[in-house]
Amino acid sequence: MDDLPDISLLEISDQPRLPPELERTIFEFAAFLNPKDIPNTMLVAWRVKRWMEALLYRIIVATYAEGQHMDFASGCPFVPLRVLLKQVHGKESSSIGLFARRFFCDSSHMEASTLDAVVTACPHLTHLHLYMNANPAHLPILNRLHSLLEVAIDIKTLFRGGAVDFGSPFLRHVTHLELLDDDFEEALLSDLVLISDLTHLSFNIRGTIAPVHNRIRSITQLKCIVFFKLRHTAEEMHPSCDDDRLVCISQTSFREDWLRGASTDEDYWALADEFIAAKRVGKVDKSLYFIKDNDSSWKS
């Protein structure tokens, strides 16, 4: 028994054995690989909770369905807007802004002061989806965002009472643009070339798609053109349409699609790109333009 080591030598220190910077890097790397595990990881220790909590703010959601169960495939956690606003003036606000990248709003109306608080707290947003009644008061706030790559917005209401400016600062680096407006003038659509990095464009129009498509098909920088349609009829397509960039998608749920894309990048844009690539190599018939986002039969 005298040969047994002192029990104190077997005690485990309550301090991290790795340098704190390295330990934090390991936890953050694991969090990015498995975002849905962040809430459980936060329970490891207080220091880990402080590191991980800011990562929860990568995806911020403001929706009238906030109080309802939102089922989506990724299981990636998201933060309700009310939680973000509560934290804006807290000591962790700088960390929140460091990691926040995606903001989704479909609450129909948002005061300019609320959007201002979001932009102030999260100046590095890259994905902005505003399914709401945007108005000119929101424009100068949006123009403070210089890292946006993907935007969904009702562009005409944003510039209500004035000419739409596709050269606005917040659109400068946008590659993926979803326009929520119902109708467009030809002159307006021709100005899309002012967004020099734009490659992907989608529309939510109710009427026939041919007139809108005819106005933009000459924009060679576009690699993907999406129309959301619940159904497809021959009259909706141009009789001599031969644009393989065009895809008509029947979407199951735009909320679930966005949330899934926020954590996995598997959204309708990825689906459209895959469909276009398949068509170009002959795996999909050239006459096919209409697909459902829950039907992958065209892949076989």
Supply the pLDDT for residue 65: 52
For residue 104, list its beta bridge partners.
Answer: 61, 129
What confidence tens digit (pLDDT) does each residue in 130-154 have? 988 889 999 999 999 999 999 999 9
Residue 112, Cβ density class (10 Å: 0-12 exposed, 13-18 middle, ≥19 buried): middle
- φ, ψ dihedrals at 119, nearest 5°: -65, -40
pLDDT in tens, 274-293: 999 999 999 998 888 889 99
Chain-centre distance for alpha carbon 275: 20
Q: How many other CB atoms are there within 10 angstroms of residue 43's CB atom? A: 10
User: What is residue 32's predicted lDDT score, i.e. its pLDDT?
Assistant: 72
Q: How would you label 3-16 residue by residue, b for 16+ Cβ within 10 Å and e otherwise?
A: eeeeeeeeeeeeee
The Cα 254–Cα 180 span in angstroms is 12
> What was the pLDDT predicted at 238?
54
- How high is the pLDDT of residue 4? 46
| pTM, 2 dp | 0.82
Q: Bridge partners of 129?
A: 104, 152
Q: How far apart are CA 105 and CA 158, in angstroms?
A: 15
**Which residues, other chains included, contact 149 with Cβ-Cβ below 8 Å and sequence gap of 6+?**
126, 127, 173, 174, 175, 176
The confidence score (pLDDT) of residue 89 equals: 64
Q: Are 290 and 248 in contact (CB under 8 A)?
A: yes
Residue 92's pLDDT is 52
Pick out the chain residues at pLDDT < 70: 1-16, 64-77, 89-96, 161, 185-187, 230-240
Cα dist from 182 to 21, 100, 129, 203, whole Å: 51, 31, 17, 8
Q: How much is the pLDDT for 239?
A: 44
Query: Strand 127-132's sheet: what is its strand order?
Result: 79-80, 59-63, 102-108, 127-132, 150-153, 176-179, 200-203, 224-228, 246-250, 290-292
Give the pLDDT of residue 43. 79
Q: What's the confidence (pLDDT) of residue 272? A: 96
Residue 150: per-residue pLDDT: 97
